[in-house]
Amino acid sequence: MMKTLVVKHANSPTSYPIFIEQGLLKNLFWLPKHIQQIVIITDNKVKKLYAQNLLKSLQKTKKKVLLLSFPSGEKAKNYQMKHKLEQKILSKHFDRDAFILALGGGVVGDIAGFIAATYMRGISYIQIPTTLLAMVDSSIGGKTSINTSLGKNLIGAFWHPSSVIIDLHCLKTLPQKHLINGLIEALKIFIIYDKNSFQFFEKNIHDILNGEAASHQIIFSAIRLKSQIVTQDEREKHLRSILNFGHTIGHALETLSNYRLLHGIAVGYGILVESKISEILGMLSRADYFKISQLLMKLGIHPKKLKTFNLQKIIALTQLDKKAKEEKAKYVLLKKIGKIHHKSKQFAFDVPNKVIEHAFFAVSEMTNAGK
């Protein structure tokens, strides 16, 4: 049965629906009737899987449609690619009434959303996430961006989609490592905001990895929680920054791996280190750290892998992160599972390098028993 959530930002007129159901790419009820010009932006993998069929369905409606695709992967999310795609759209004379359909994973959503934000000073777009990571995180909340050689997502804009279409059927073609990539972002939301969902994840990990019903429940809970957080803080001035838990270290690892490490996997390692920092600072209990690390290990996050990274390079990159202030990296810290540490409206904090070093070595020396 179709589930619908509405993202309604506090103190702002912005509001848009999220539709969740199997088969939404076949039933185009969500496409506003008045749209006459459509640009589908996708990557080369999703083009074959879904975009060509979507193009055919749209062509039957006699609308003007353009399908653009680019190589899949985070490396394509750059200035040059944005420019190339924009030139193609301009050369086909799409005007400011055009609509973009961002069909794909987080990379497609980010670059297509950023094109929508700037094309003719801003046009409408619809997020159609096809990966679990994009469904539970990047398609919701209006963040759009590209990467630069100095770091991830450093250039971008807040630009909200007019709707988010989640066709759960797309998960059937998703490779296991991409499923885990998305599950880690869902788990992150539970760790920072909802103990009950964390416990559900813990109890049902086997079914989540293998069966549909449990994973659908996880997806719905993660989307509901993410929507609740972003609606309270549209532009990440306070509460929304808790979504960056695991990301200060995670983004640095992703950049250092030259994007060979998938985003969610990098965030998994980031969660391990940042939970350990919280434990060392006396905020998080050892028991909660143990539960988090055990669950991550079941998802294939093996602490020893951290040894392959140079900690000083990680620390240097965290200072360039867009969450950094005056070149000081900021960390979201955990109080217990389901609750982050905050001081009135401050949700991210400086951490001395010594504590980061201690946490990093403690995690990378950790055995599978999690000690």
- Give residues in contact with ligand GLY (CB under 6 A): 137-138, 141, 143, 236, 240, 243
From the CB of 91, what's the least distance to ligand GLY, in Å?
32
* Closest CB to ligand GLY among residues 50, 269: 269
Of the candidates 82, 143, 330, 341, the residue annotated as catalytic is: 143
Cα dist. 315→176, 301, 309, 367 in Å?
Answer: 31, 21, 11, 24
- Give yes or no: 121 in active site: yes
How far is residue 47's CA from residue 14's CA, in Å, rounded to a whole number?
A: 30
How far is residue 1's CA from residue 6's CA, in Å, rounded to a whole number?
A: 17
- Give yes or no: 143 in active site: yes
* Closest CB to ligand GLY among residues 74, 279: 74
11-15, Cβ contacts within 8 angstroms, sequence gap of 24 or more: 12/234, 14/142, 14/160, 14/234
Element (H, E) at 293: helix 286-298
Rg (alpha carbons) of the chain, rounded to whole number: 20
From the CB of 135, what's the least distance to ligand GLY, in Å?
12
* Closest CB to ligand GLY among residues 334, 362: 334
From the CB of 355, what's the least distance to ligand GLY, in Å?
24
Of the candidates 74, 236, 254, 279, the residue annotated as catalytic is: 236
- Would you state the structure tokens that stand for residue 354, as one six-digit string? 């010594």
- Give yes or no: 185 in active site: yes
Of 156, 102, 145, 157, the closest CA to residue 127 belongs to: 102
Q: How many CB atoms lie within 10 A of CB 261?
A: 21
From the CB of 364, what's the least distance to ligand GLY, in Å?
26
From the CB of 90, what's the least distance to ligand GLY, in Å?
29
From the CB of 214, what's the least distance to ligand GLY, in Å?
23
Within 8 A by CB and 6+ apart from 336, the residues are 195, 284, 285, 288
* Closest CB to ligand GLY among residues 138, 221: 138
Of the candidates 251, 276, 330, 341, the residue annotated as catalytic is: 251
* Closest CB to ligand GLY among residues 15, 310: 15
Of the candidates 188, 234, 244, 254, the residue annotated as catalytic is: 244
* Closest CB to ligand GLY among residues 138, 248: 138
- Give yes or no: 226 in active site: yes
3-class SS of residue 168: helix
Of the candidates 77, 82, 188, 240, the residue annotated as catalytic is: 240
Of the candidates 160, 178, 226, 341, the residue annotated as catalytic is: 226
* Closest CB to ligand GLY among residues 65, 219: 219
- Give yes or no: 88 in active site: no
How far is residue 39's CA from residue 348's CA, in Å, rounded to a whole number?
A: 38
Could you identify the residue written with the tokens 């750290």?
Answer: 289
Q: Are 309 and 256 in contact (CB under 8 A)?
A: yes
From the CB of 140, what's the least distance to ligand GLY, in Å?
7
Counting Cα atoms < 13 Å in the Cβ hemisphere of 87 gives 6
Within 8 A by CB and 6+ apart from 110, the residues are 77, 138, 143, 144, 145, 146, 153, 156
Within 8 A by CB and 6+ apart from 220, the residues are 3, 20
- Give yes or no: 240 in active site: yes
Active site residues: 121, 143, 185, 226, 236, 240, 244, 247, 251, 263
